[in-house]
Structure 1
Amino acid sequence: MAALVWLLIPFVAAVGAAIWGSWAARDRTMGDIAELNGYARFRDAMEKAPSGSDVGSDVA
């Protein structure tokens, strides 16, 4: 009976590794698309923002 318990330990470890491996290999492309769209909006906003070179130019 003790031998079966010792065989159960690697079996549980293998099942855990299979679950972790399937979770780590999941398809995560949906999040990338949203992040890339947000980055494109950020770039557009930075292109429209004033450069700051004319800030304080009207001070005598």
Structure 2
Amino acid sequence: MAALAWLLIPLFAALGAAIWGSWAARNRTVGDVSELAGYTRFREAMEKSSPSSGSDAV
């Protein structure tokens, strides 16, 4: 029975490593879409608020 316990420990460790590896490698690009859209809106707003004459250029 003790030998079985010693064989199950690496099995559980490998199973835990496989679960952790699949979780760590998951696709996380879902949240980036809204952040990129927000950055685009920010950039467009900054372009609208900047003076269009360009006379302040040094």
TM-score by length of 1: 0.67
Q: Percent of counterpart pairs with the same letter?
A: 73
**Using the alignment, how far apart are the partners of 2:50 and 2:8 within structure 1?**
66
Pairs aligned (count): 51
The answer for unaligned runs of 5 or more in structure 2 is 52-58
Superposition pairs of residues 1-60 of structure 1, within 5 angstroms: 1-49=1-49
- TM-score normalised by length of structure 2: 0.69
In 2: Cα distance, 1:34 partner to 1:15 partner: 34
- Extract unaligned runs of 5+ from structure 1: 52-60
